[in-house]
Amino acid sequence: MTSPSRDTVEWCKRLRLGSNFVEAVTAKKSKERDYLIDLLEGEINRRDALAIERNIKNAAFPEIKTLADFDFTNVEMPSSVTRAYFTDTVFVDNKYSIFMYGRPGTGKTHLAIALGIEACKHFHKVAFYRLPSLIAQLREAKSTKDERFYKRLSKTELIILDEFGYPPREDDTIELLFDFISNYCYQQKSLIMTSNRTFKEWLTDFTDPRATKMAQATLDRIAQNTLLFNFTGESRRSNSATLVK
């Protein structure tokens, strides 16, 4: 009897077929065995494709963007960042975050979504929010005690916060954001934040002494294990725009 391959054993485990099925497969003659292994591999590939499709749908990206369509020429990144950080989503595995800073139209949201898509392909659970929308949903969940929303936050491994630089003006914004970062993100998952304002500029939105302290505490938690990507180019939207006369 031929010994089962590592892939065959792993596929059977994932399909919950048990050790008896593994033994039955390997006991078959060559052609029969190859046929069954092909069936196993096909079913695994089908389930993986469905899982990736489901992850991308649940992430609620506003559009689909890919790394293949992105030009890294005008993006300054830490020297430690390699291609594997993107294609293998190493930063998610290590619970690192990324702060993308640059003027509007330089591709921050494009790259954030593309990294989110790669994370979905590696079977990570991802959620995309624009910061004003997240704050509104946090406020609603707090008011209605929506446990399903909080459960989803807990299970998500990568959260993308687009338009982070402009927090809503409501008085409870920073408290909601502080609780979100402290309870659901800090040392628990990865964040990708896009902003055309620095952290220092962001702090100026909070003038009340208590809010200022809470905002600083929020940034202290965000800044830990966070990589800075500096987008230095001109606005891609402006360069490609055609004015209607």
For residue 121, give the nearest of 191, 56, 192 by alpha carbon. 56
Place of tokens 């997240």: 134
Phi-psi region of 89 (alpha: psi -120 to 50; beta: other; left: phi over 0): left
Q: What confidence category does residue 3 fall into, taking pLDDT thresholds of 50, 70 and 90? A: very low
Residue 38 is predicted with a pLDDT of: 76
Q: Render 144-166 in DSSP notation, one character per residue.
A: HT-HHHHHHHHH-SEEEEETTTS
Mean pLDDT of all residues in the chain? 87
CB atoms within 10 A of CB 65: 19
**159-173, 208-222, 226-240: range with lowest mean pLDDT:** 226-240
* Average pLDDT rounded to a whole number, residues 219-244: 78
Q: Specify the pTM.
A: 0.85
**23-27, 122-126, 159-163: range with lowest mean pLDDT:** 23-27
State both tokens at 68.
């293949």
**52-56, 107-111, 156-160, 231-235: range with lowest mean pLDDT:** 231-235
Tens of pLDDT, residue by residue over 66-85, are 999 999 999 999 998 887 78
* Average pLDDT rounded to a whole number, residues 222-234: 92
For residue 6, pLDDT over 80 is answered with no
For residue 81, give the nearest of 235, 226, 232 by alpha carbon. 226
Return the higher-pLDDT residue of 231 and 18: 231
Residue 243 is predicted with a pLDDT of: 46
For residue 49, pLDDT over 70 is answered with yes
Tens of pLDDT, residue by residue over 163-204, are 999 999 899 999 999 999 999 999 999 999 999 999 999 999
State both tokens at 231.
């987008």
* Cα 52 to Cα 55, 57, 121, 177, 224, distances in angstroms: 5, 9, 5, 29, 30
Sign of CA dihedral 225, 231, 235, 236: negative
